[in-house]
Amino acid sequence: MSRAHHSGGEPSQRMLRVAELIRHAMSELLSRGDIVDPVLEKHVITVASVRMSPDLKLATIYVVPLGSGDVNVIIEALDQHRKYLRSEIARRVNLKFAPDVRFRHDTGFDIHSKIDAILNSPKVKKDLGSDEPDAEAGA
């Protein structure tokens, strides 16, 4: 009965706990340079979040490259090392079954950057900080 409850709604505590353990393991693998790959070696990659399927058989790992870099190339490089990463994650997290892993770009940082840019634009700053009556209200 509880499985049906978690299949489409909020993640269970177990899903959240396993996801966080996998996020830490994946972050450690990337930060220590355990993966020998020229693309991954020249980028700093942040593991933003991990989402688990209700049966814990699939981990979707959301990554963000810091600085410049083609996200698709980074995702492809991670995909090439999927088997190694899956086995290392399973070993470090000590799960009964190793979940399959897939990598996706986390666009949350991009959205926050766009919002910051809008809020810091001269027009918005003028509207928010103006002490004068709004003479350009009709413009």
Q: What pLDDT, in 10s, does the model give residues 87-138?
A: 999 999 988 888 999 999 987 766 656 676 677 778 777 777 754 454 444 4
Domains, the chain, in order of start with CATH, read 2-107 (3.30.300.20)
What six digits make up the tokens of 106? Answer: 């986390």
**What is the pTM assigned to this prediction?**
0.72
What is the longest distance spanned by two Cα atoms in the chain? Answer: 67
Q: What pLDDT, in 10s, does the model give residues 27-80?
A: 999 988 888 999 888 888 999 999 999 999 999 999 998 876 688 999 999 999
- The DSSP bridge pattern shows strands 58-66 and 100-105 to be parallel
Q: Would you give the distance in Å from CA 92 to the centre of its chain?
A: 20
